[in-house]
Chain A
Amino acid sequence: MFHIGILQLTQNLDDAVRGFKQGLKELSVEADFHYFNADGNINELPKLAQELAELNVDLIFACSTPAAKAAGNLVTNIPVLFTPVFDPISVNLVDNLEFPGGKLTGMSGMVNADDKVKFIQELLPNVKRLGMLYHTEDSNSLIEASNFRKAVTDKFALSELTITCKEDISLLTETLPQDIDALFLPIGRIIEENFASIAYYTDAIDVPIITSHAPNVVLGSLGALVANHAMLGKACAKQAHQILIEGKDVKAIPVGITDKPEILLNAFVADNLGIEIPASLLAKATEVYE
């Protein structure tokens, strides 16, 4: 029986935890879990991580970048598996993806920017000018914005738009370019949480939103290409098996990335905006919200 600590930032990550537990069960890894959820409070994470260390767990499953950082900063050698961390290199969790080099590895939550560009092209073939809205204080947002910018090249004209704090969203009515055909939202907590206020303004100018956060699709985004959190959790369970059962060294277990991002679509939004979703995409979609 192993003792596994789970450190979670918000309930939005429940699926990852569920997938992780399910994965361990399927691999017959017997474990009891010490579960801590900071309920959105990032400042609580170091304390909670410390508590897990004091419980002397065999492994910590850290959900989200701040949770991974908190677990990584512990002065113990407890192995840490993280997901969904967008870019573990830039936030100094690992040295490189193939050979992490320390006590942390896991699954990136990233979906390849080229795939996202292709998805937008397929969903909205007439888009010429695409807006991109991101939060400049969020390191993951900056990375995805940078990746996306490179992937777009000459496929669309890109109008970039930034916020520095959540209240900036209130003023989007003044800053949102009127000539964009669609708005792309890279990952980033502030943008994702306050999505309704962004959609409020884009609805007024009939601009569809492509999000990077699955729950935003239910709330009114036209679509998203996302990594399934439950699958990421399951993949982490495999890595846990390698560490706990096979005795592999964490530093040599590569960080994984999803190879099967899922398509989520919102038919109600499409109808409101008078957009016809291509049948090919509807057929491929994991979920189409009505």
Chain B
Amino acid sequence: MLLTRKSVELLAPVGTWEVLEVAIAAGADAVYLGGKRFNMRMHRTDTNFDDKMLKQAIEYAHKHNVKLYITINNLLSDREIEPMRDYLKYLETIQPDALLVQDLAVLELVKELHITIPLHTSVMMNTHNEHAIHKLKEYGITRIVVGREMTLPQLSLFRERTGIEVEYFMHGDMCISQSGQCYHSGILFGQSGNRGRCLKPCRWAFKLINEDTKEVLDENGPGPYKLALKDMCMYRNIPELIQAGVHSFKIEGRMRTAAFVERIVKTYRKAIDSYIADPAGYVTNETDWQDLYENRSRDFSTCFALGKPDASAIGFTGEREPRFFSQAVKEASVDSMVPMKDTQQATLIADTYKPMLSVRVADITSLKSACENGANVVYVGGEAFKPHKAWTLADIKEAISITKKYNAKLIVTTPRATMERECSELEQLFTALNEIKPDGVMVSNMGSLNLAKKFTSLPIQTDFSFNTFNHLAAKLLKDNGSVMATTSLEATYAQIKELLTTSQLPIEIIIHGPIEAMLLDHNLPAMSLGYNPLENPDMCDKHFALLDTANEIHPIRIDQYGRNHILFAKDLCLLPYLVNLAGAASYRIEAQHYTPELVGVLTKTYRGELDKLTNDLQNYQYDKTIAEKIAKVSPRELGVGAFRYRISR
């Protein structure tokens, strides 16, 4: 297909009116910005537009033939649904060219309110596969901001198979974690990266250590800023980007100054126009490149666009880090929850209330241990963290025969991130499961939900990675075949409580276990230690960890896909708060990283407490020594996660 001026859209970030004017004058085809409410840049109130300014900005942009998109890409808690309804009604009257959304509730609201504005999914929706797109299209999504982990060939395939318009972050600040799947700031500080308040723990200084021996491994390494991803820059690869079929070239930086945005827009404008005018004769303008390079903030990388990045994508020394947002702190211990105002107010539960106790395990021995000690449901499958092996079909069959014996259910889980490879594998797996007949499957994203629906008739549960925060998101999941949703790991006590009363879908709460701060497609140990993973496959079986400046140790676990999962230093333990959380359909222990013995201890403990609780809620008394006993046999200290906070912001 021949290229025209309309083949590519140069999309600029706007934080202030001044930036709006210069970005448009510099040649942006479209701009995106946030209102004062609900968007991903909530730290600086002065870089967002109030309602009146939004209207003026749209008029200004349209007068200059420029499109304007408004970001409402925040997760919502139930109490924010009503304000969001009002906001959407207002946005409908001013008609921006699109809305960028993250929370599934917004898709529901848009339908309910008959909003006519086109919808784009935010990068926070973490879209990596075509099956998610097919589903999202049913909800009126016309464009996808794809996950940052996508390579250009993957994007091309994606577009060909779905016909969706693709928007790609091609210049600016990047996240090292998969978008929407980073819980570090949200859980530790109560300021969520999924709600525009990220305090960037990825920019802290770390040492790489051997988790078992605590030996520091990178004393002579390239530097302490191991997660400090450089800024994306595709300037030297504009032909590849255009030919891959990326429609919208997105520049990051809604907090940037006018001069900064202007330079980038101008430079890319010139290059894009020059390429479209004469693709075969295009050469990179070295003077412009020099100017862009000299005025860079961090150093540059092409991140995943041209393939999996290596150590050169990380700014190990921290020299060019423009600013920091936080320093490492000691994680909240198990007894540091905010006081619950309704502690004494026992939840009304029916006599017939019998919640499930579920346990996620890594192997058959642990599965037996869970069953013997009173688990109602066991989860297997999904990510296998090395040195554990992935679950084979034979393993699953065996698991089913064991759970049957104990009258427990077996649910097969699926990986959190599903790209091309994982999706194809899931098609096979789901088809095979129809024969093997476990009691259900659990999926982790919209794409795998859609696949499960298509390939199996088994009951489907949705995992925490859907970031379910409110009843409308739960409704959407229910409408799409989910029989149970897991709450977001960032949800606080009050937010979970609210969801328990409003959700039409049964709710599962993760109450114990190691929780993941970040999910990375990078190989951290290899990047820091400089070994070749091909020549050192056994290195993946080692237990590495990051030691932060508060002396907290964050284990790194590597799965069968090579992804790195960075855990919090403390394992979640909500045992003391169980009584206040009555009303959930299921309580889950994440025990994949535990020994079979510990799986047994934990299952037995929680079984006992749940039974006491359901038998006589009014007289239930929590005994502090129980958590202390668990702490003694746990590999890490116990923490309280997001429950440290009244609400997650």
CB of A218 within 8 Å of the partner chain: yes
CB of B329 within 8 Å of the partner chain: yes
What 1/0 flags go to B285-299 for Cβ under 8 Å of A? 000000000000100
B132-159 residues at the A interface, CB under 8 angstroms: none
CB of A138 within 8 Å of the partner chain: no
CB of A37 within 8 Å of the partner chain: yes
Name the B residues within 8 Å of A160 (CB-CB).
none
CB of B79 within 8 Å of the partner chain: no
Specify which of A10, A167, A171 is in contact with B323 (CB 8 Å cutoff). A10
Residue of A nearest to B191 (CB): A196
Residue of A nearest to B224 (CB): A167
Q: Is the CB of A194 within 8 A of B325?
A: yes
- A41, A167, A200 — which one has the most chain B CB atoms within 10 A of its CB? A200
Residue of B nearest to A33 (CB): B259
CB of B255 within 8 Å of the partner chain: yes
B contact residues, range: 20 to 34
Q: Give the distance in Å from the alpha carbon of A185 to the alpha carbon of B566 in the complex.
A: 33
Name the A residues within 8 Å of B44 (CB-CB).
215
Name the A residues within 8 Å of B325 (CB-CB).
193-194, 196
Specify which of A15, A167, A193 is in contact with B205 (CB 8 Å cutoff). A167
CB of B404 within 8 Å of the partner chain: no
CB of A275 within 8 Å of the partner chain: no
What 1/0 flags go to A172-199 for Cβ under 8 Å of B? 0100000000000000000001101100
Q: Is the CB of B329 within 8 A of A201?
A: yes
Q: Is the CB of B330 within 8 A of A11?
A: no
B214-258 residues at the A interface, CB under 8 angstroms: 255-258
Q: Give the distance in Å from the alpha carbon of A196 to the alpha carbon of B45 in the complex.
A: 17
Q: Shortest beta-carbon distance, A38 to chain B, in Å?
A: 9
Residue of A nearest to B333 (CB): A204
Residue of A nearest to B18 (CB): A18
What 1/0 flags go to B82-107 for Cβ under 8 Å of A? 00000000000000000000000000
Name the B residues within 8 Å of A215 (CB-CB).
43-44
Q: Give the distance in Å from the alpha carbon of A199 to the alpha carbon of B294 in the complex.
A: 36
Q: Is the CB of A197 within 8 A of B328?
A: yes
CB of B646 within 8 Å of the partner chain: yes
Q: Is the CB of B322 within 8 A of A218?
A: no
Residue of A nearest to B200 (CB): A196
Q: Shortest beta-carbon distance, B48 to chain A, in Å?
A: 12
Q: Is the CB of A39 within 8 A of B549?
A: no
Q: Is the CB of A196 within 8 A of B199?
A: yes
Name the B residues within 8 Å of A11 (CB-CB).
255-257
Residue of A nearest to B45 (CB): A218
Name the A residues within 8 Å of B297 (CB-CB).
39, 41
CB within 8 Å for A39 and B260 given contacts A167-B205, A219-B43: yes
Q: Is the CB of B189 within 8 A of A196?
A: yes
Q: Is the CB of A197 within 8 A of B326?
A: yes
Name the B residues within 8 Å of A196 (CB-CB).
189, 191, 199, 325-326
CB of B46 within 8 Å of the partner chain: yes
CB of A156 within 8 Å of the partner chain: no
Q: Is the CB of A40 within 8 A of B257?
A: no
Q: Is the CB of B327 within 8 A of A166?
A: yes
Q: Shortest beta-carbon distance, A37 to chain B, in Å?
A: 5
Residue of A nearest to B294 (CB): A47
Specify which of A14, A169, A204, A218 is in contact with B327 (CB 8 Å cutoff). A169
Q: Is the CB of B336 within 8 A of A197?
A: no
CB of A280 within 8 Å of the partner chain: no
Q: Is the CB of B260 within 8 A of A272?
A: no
Is chain A's interface secondary structure helix, strand, loop, or mixed overall?
Answer: helix
Q: Shortest beta-carbon distance, B96 to chain A, in Å?
A: 25
Residue of A nearest to B649 (CB): A268
Name the B residues within 8 Å of A41 (CB-CB).
297, 320, 322
Is chain B's interface secondary structure helix, strand, loop, or mixed overall?
Answer: loop
Q: Is the CB of B322 within 8 A of A39?
A: yes
Q: Give the distance in Å from the alpha carbon of A215 to the alpha carbon of B199 in the complex.
A: 14
B34-78 residues at the A interface, CB under 8 angstroms: 43-46
Name the B residues within 8 Å of A201 (CB-CB).
329
Name the B residues within 8 Å of A173 (CB-CB).
329-330, 550
Q: Shortest beta-carbon distance, B206 to chain A, in Å?
A: 11
Q: Shortest beta-carbon distance, B164 to chain A, in Å?
A: 34
A35-61 residues at the B interface, CB under 8 angstroms: 35-37, 39-41
Q: Give the distance in Å from the alpha carbon of A170 to the alpha carbon of B326 in the complex.
A: 9
Q: Give the distance in Å from the alpha carbon of A219 to the alpha carbon of B190 in the complex.
A: 11
- A11, A215, A219, A272 — which one has the most chain B CB atoms within 10 A of its CB? A11
- A8, A167, A197 — which one has the most chain B CB atoms within 10 A of its CB? A197
CB within 8 Å for A197 and B329 given contacts A170-B548, A170-B550: yes
Specify which of A14, A35, A36, A170 is in contact with B329 (CB 8 Å cutoff). A170
CB of B282 within 8 Å of the partner chain: no
Q: Shortest beta-carbon distance, B339 to chain A, in Å?
A: 10
Q: Give the distance in Å from the alpha carbon of A41 to the alpha carbon of B328 in the complex.
A: 22
CB within 8 Å for A167 and B257 given contacts A40-B322, A196-B325, A201-B329: no
Q: Is the CB of B43 within 8 A of A194?
A: no
Q: Give the distance in Å from the alpha carbon of A189 to the alpha carbon of B164 in the complex.
A: 45
What 1/0 flags go to B305-330 for Cβ under 8 Å of A? 00000000000000010111111111
Q: Is the CB of B327 within 8 A of A35?
A: no
CB within 8 Å for A200 and B189 given contacts A10-B323, A11-B257: yes
Residue of B nearest to A18 (CB): B18
Residue of B nearest to A10 (CB): B323
Name the A residues within 8 Å of B336 (CB-CB).
204
Residue of A nearest to B338 (CB): A272
Residue of B nearest to A289 (CB): B45
A209-237 residues at the B interface, CB under 8 angstroms: 215, 218-219
Q: Give the distance in Å from the alpha carbon of A170 to the alpha carbon of B547 in the complex.
A: 12
Q: Give the distance in Å from the alpha carbon of A200 to the alpha carbon of B550 in the complex.
A: 13
A69-128 residues at the B interface, CB under 8 angstroms: none
Q: Shortest beta-carbon distance, A196 to chain B, in Å?
A: 5
Name the A residues within 8 Å of B329 (CB-CB).
169-170, 173, 197, 200-201
Q: Shortest beta-carbon distance, A64 to chain B, in Å?
A: 13
Residue of B nearest to A272 (CB): B646
Q: Is the CB of A40 within 8 A of B323?
A: yes
Specify which of B46, B199, B323 is in contact with A14 (CB 8 Å cutoff). B46
Q: Is the CB of A37 within 8 A of B550?
A: no
Q: Shortest beta-carbon distance, A25 to chain B, in Å?
A: 13
Q: Give the distance in Å from the alpha carbon of A39 to the alpha carbon of B256 in the complex.
A: 9
- B205, B329, B551 — which one has the most chain A CB atoms within 10 A of its CB? B329
Specify which of A15, A166, A170 is in contact with B46 (CB 8 Å cutoff). A15
Specify which of B191, B199, B255, B327 is in contact with A170 (CB 8 Å cutoff). B327
Name the B residues within 8 Å of A194 (CB-CB).
324-327
Q: Shortest beta-carbon distance, B336 to chain A, in Å?
A: 7
Q: Give the distance in Å from the alpha carbon of A219 to the alpha carbon of B260 in the complex.
A: 26
Q: Is the CB of A37 within 8 A of B326?
A: no
Residue of A nearest to B328 (CB): A170
Q: Give the distance in Å from the alpha carbon of A171 to the alpha carbon of B46 in the complex.
A: 32
A-B pairs with beta carbons under 8 Å apart, 6 shown = A10-B322, A11-B257, A166-B327, A197-B329, A200-B189, A272-B646
A-B residue pairs, 9 tightest by C-beta: A40-B322, A170-B550, A170-B549, A167-B549, A169-B327, A197-B327, A196-B326, A40-B323, A170-B328
Name 19 extra pairs, CB < 8 A, besides A166-B324, A170-B330, A173-B329: A8-B257, A10-B323, A11-B255, A11-B256, A11-B257, A14-B16, A36-B259, A37-B257, A41-B320, A167-B205, A170-B327, A170-B551, A194-B324, A194-B326, A194-B327, A196-B326, A197-B328, A218-B45, A272-B646
